[in-house]
Structure 1
Amino acid sequence: MSGFARHRRSGHVIATFSGFEADLLRSLAGQLVELLRNEAAVPRNVEDTFEAMMDFSGPTSAPEDPVLARLFPTAYEHDDEAAAEFRRFTEGALRDGKADGAATIIDTLEDAGLPPELTEDGLMIDVEMEEPVAEAWLRSFTDLRLALATRLGVEEDDEDLWEAMPDDDPRVQAYDIYQWVGLLQETLVDALSE
């Protein structure tokens, strides 16, 4: 995978993934959607659009899951009441937005031809997307990296620790995925900047 680039004629953002890479991205995005939607404190099945926009019955306490706590940090660290109110008014919509962004990755890959189950060796998936879709991917890459970093315990400037780990440590493979998503994110930023 060489990363994302800008198509010269259409101006769209393009990339080619191996079937394995595309399936891995679909799996990561699916896990993020599941975490965001299954852990939501309030069901979001309001049918009336106006009523849905005015639904401020979201959670008032920080999520217990460390990944969700990282994705939805406390807004007012020294004011519990203000933090609870802010969370109540914002977290539901933020969760929905993040879940929709991750679902966009899945939809884009499947629209490009990624089958429900990989059975074909050598399968390549060409993805071409307009800027708004590419921006959704970019936001989701940030969420995926935060989720992976939180689960792995990645900290700033700890690259030497990861480099020193033996190859058979199961965390090394997950860290490689974290780094790969970072590479994708970086090339997507560059493509969007062209």
Structure 2
Amino acid sequence: MPGHFEPLPGGGAAVALDDVEISIIRSLAVQLLELIGPGPSADTPEDPLAELFAEGPSEPPSDPVLKRLFPDAYRDPESEPDSPLEAEERRQHSAEFRRFTENDLRAGKRENALAVIRSLDALGSPGDGNVVLELDPGEVRRWLGALNDLRLAISTRLDITGEDDTDVLYGLPDDDPRKPLVMAYLWLGGLQETLVTTLMP
């Protein structure tokens, strides 16, 4: 179990983590939360109808990581627009889509990151050994969402766009300042992959 998730009888998954691993995942999840931004303030009136029709931003975020987490819906990297008119139409459609979906997307990503933090906080400190984190099926999906977002964020900071970039990063010397982030990226990928396998019949 150390270093990878295993399925639990009846659904869910478990992994053994040590103090350092817990600290790394928690710190990254907190940073992701800070990047995504806060939710509605405590004094916001609880009006489900108003919340349903609340409009979000219409322009893409300026931060590259947020652009990756909240991409334009009508942008096709494989197909450039045929004319300035088509480009403007795509921009308008993307803005409209973003205005009515980004708030919900942010809320979902925020909840996933919070679920990770809460489940880690509930473990307490394992001291010098490992402690077993057990996730129910709902928590598994939250963790998968958060792990995916964390890897997207890290890959954007590392300028990873394809397999060739990943291969180069494998060979970085230990004194390269990117090395800790690369190691976190690869480790989270392993966790994510084994967590996915726990959902397979």
Task: State if a TM-score over 0.5 links the two structures.
Answer: yes
1:112-123 correspondence runs (5 A): 112-114=123-125, 121-123=127-129
Aligned AA for 2:116? I
Deviation at 1:193, TM superposition (A): 1.3
Task: Please give the alpha-carbon distance, in whole angstroms, between the structure 1 residues aligned to 2:45 and 2:70.
Answer: 22
TM-score of the superposition, structure 2-length normalised?
0.85
Match of 2:120 among 109, 112, 132: 109
1:164 to partner: Cα distance: 3.0
1:161 is aligned, of 165, 168, 177, to 168
Partner of 1:117: none
Could you tell me which residue of structure 2 aligns to residue 12 of structure 1?
12
Larger gyration radius, structure 1 or structure 2: 2
C-alpha distance after superposition, 1:54-108 (max 9, x if no partner)? 21x2101010000000011111233111111111000011001101101100001
Does the CA contact (< 8 Å) of 1:22 and 1:125 recur in 2?
Answer: no
Task: Report the CA distance between 1:43 and its aligned residue.
Answer: 7.0
Which 10-residue stretch deviates more, 140-149 or 152-161? 152-161
Matches within 5 A, 1:20-169: 20-37=20-37, 45-55=44-54, 57-77=55-75, 78=87, 79-114=90-125, 121-157=127-163, 158-169=165-176
The share of aligned pairs that are identical, in percent, is 38
For 1:32 and 1:136, how far apart are their aligned partners in 2?
14
User: Is the contact between residue 12 and residue 198 of structure 2 (CA under 8 Å) also seen in structure 1?
Assistant: no
* Structure 1 residue 123: Cα displacement: 4.3
Taking structure 1 as reference, are residues 5 and 49 closer, same or farther at Cα in structure 2, changes over 3 Å only?
A: same
Superposition CA RMSD, Å? 2.0
Tell me the matched-pair count.
185
Normalised TM-score (structure 1): 0.88
Task: Pick closer, same or farther for the CA change 1:23–1:87 going to 2, 3 Å.
Answer: same
Any gaps of 5 or more consecutive residues in structure 1?
115-119
Unaligned runs of 5+ in 2: 76-86
1:187 and 2:194 matched: yes
